[in-house]
Amino acid sequence: MHAVIVSKRSLQQVTVLGKALKDYIKEELESFIKTHIYTIDMGALLEATFDLDEEEDMLILPEDVVLYSNRILKESYLKYKKAGSLPTIFHTSTNKSGMIKKHQICFAWVKLKDLKAYTSLTEFDMLQHFEVSINSVKRVYTVELISEYAKELEEKIKKRWVKRGIYMMQPDTVVLGPDVYFLGTAVIQGGAYIWGKTICYDSVHIGPNCEIYDSILKENVRVSHSVIEESCIGRDSVIGPFAHIRNHTSIGDGNRIGNFVEVKNSTTGKKTYASHLTYIGDTSCGNGVNFGCGVVTVNYDGKAKHSTWIGDNAFIGCNSNLIAPIRIESNSFIAAGSTIVTSLHQGDFSIARPPQIIKKQYAKKYGYKRVDEE
């Protein structure tokens, strides 16, 4: 047997807790349908070709179907076979006249050769059909219904994790996706959005207004008012407030990534600190590195991205620019306000800023007036 999920263009941009509707269906199908699962646009269903025998059984489902259990699929398949494998639709209810409406049809079993009979809307009431309970399957074909389903699913997920020791402050404002997993206890404060395939290890503290997607948070990580995407945060690290950890970043153990720091496609070693107003992009960074306020790894030259390499225990002074590609070897020291264009060897000291010029009593010449002089 095989399955076809009929996709609707109007729903292609709609997600429920960060996950496409059709992905929920696929998960239920994969434990029941052991062969092919196709996704086809509704307008292309009739013209679709399958490299299958015409006698193969096909399960047809709209993208907006919610399956509470694949048990209903097993039961419906038995009814379909018992009825002689004729095209069979399964719906939630009928109207007073006994007619079946399009949005009431949840799925159908047909042979591949009978696919046209299912797709012809005028023949629905002529096909054999069975009613199924809305407790096992339903359609969410409008934005309102999708929102109701999202809320229902969200509450179910949160209740499951609360029972396992996850403490949520203001739980009504916390959003957990279906693929989030906790490996121990955690505290989650209000306004946190955690979804995608995110894993949180023991004793994680997620503060208010965080968004965490497809990431790993190791033991004792603390995050507040920050965004973490497709990244891994090492144990005992502190992220935020107002930090942005972007795709393909690995933060080492015991790091401090603070206010208005952005890290992208980079790795840091143990006990590395970037406490405020810093950009670290396309950088490989060792242990014990200190980034002063306002440091920028200048990774883009207008045409291509370039990498920066920083060794252990390097000190990068405030308001410094590292023009990539560049290597800053271990134990190097860069003075504040420097623009570094040449790589440094181990233990080097570099200062790259113009000399300070002082002109006595010149301040008034440039027109500055104090308030009491106006």
Tell me which residues are annotated as active site: 276
Q: Can you count the helices (H) and strands (E) in the chain?
A: 4, 39
Whole-Å CA distances, 154 to 24, 87, 112, 146, 190: 14, 36, 37, 12, 15
Distance, CA of 150 to chain centre: 16
Residues shown for the chain? 374
- Reported as half-sphere exposure (CB side, CA atoms, 13 A), residue 326 has a value of 18
Backbone dihedral region of 147: left (phi > 0), alpha (psi from -120 to 50 degrees) or beta?
alpha
- Reported as half-sphere exposure (CB side, CA atoms, 13 A), residue 371 has a value of 0
Residue 146: DSSP 8-state = H
- As a whole number of angstroms, the distance between CA 192 and CA 209 comes to 5
Q: Are 60 and 7 in contact (CB under 8 A)?
A: no
Identify the sign of the CA torsion 129, 131, 136, 141.
positive
